[in-house]
Copies of this chain bind each other. A is one copy, B any other.
Amino acid sequence: QYHEKVIDHYENPRNIGSLDKNDPTVGTGLVGAPACGDVMRLQIKVDDAGNIADVKFKTFGCGSAIASSSYITERVRGMSITDALKIKNTDIAKELCLPPVKLHCSMLAEDAIKSAIKDFRKKR
């Protein structure tokens, strides 16, 4: 009942891993979903122009959370942090054709990128 795009990102997740959280050009977002208790960590590395040069994530969340975060990492790479802040979870859910009950999983990805950008800005 899941769309093939979700299955693809779930089975071949892009950009799983970690960046050095002590690097001053790295922002780390760590967020949780109250609905299910799942957590996600997403990290960005920002270049001098304010663009996202690298991005990694890790989650213990469900298939939809893995797909949402895998998709968002591909989408934000090369993007300015200003533009990345504008990504809505509903865009992710629409792109991946997530069922309504899985909206909170895409919310986890939106929260994670926002939280990573916030952490990066705090370091500056």
A64 at the interface (CB under 8 A from B): yes
**Chain B nearest CB, measured from A62 CB (Å):** 4
Interface residues on A, range: 10 to 19
Q: Which residues of B lie under 8 Å from residue A37 when comparing CB positions?
A: 99, 101-102
Copy tally for this chain in the complex stands at 2
Chain A at the B interface: mostly helix, strand, loop or mixed? loop
Interchain CA distance A60-B64 in the complex, whole Å: 8
Q: Is the CB of B60 within 8 A of A61?
A: no
A36 at the interface (CB under 8 A from B): yes
A49 at the interface (CB under 8 A from B): no
A interface residue numbers (CB < 8 A to B) = 2, 10, 35-38, 60-65, 99, 101-102, 104
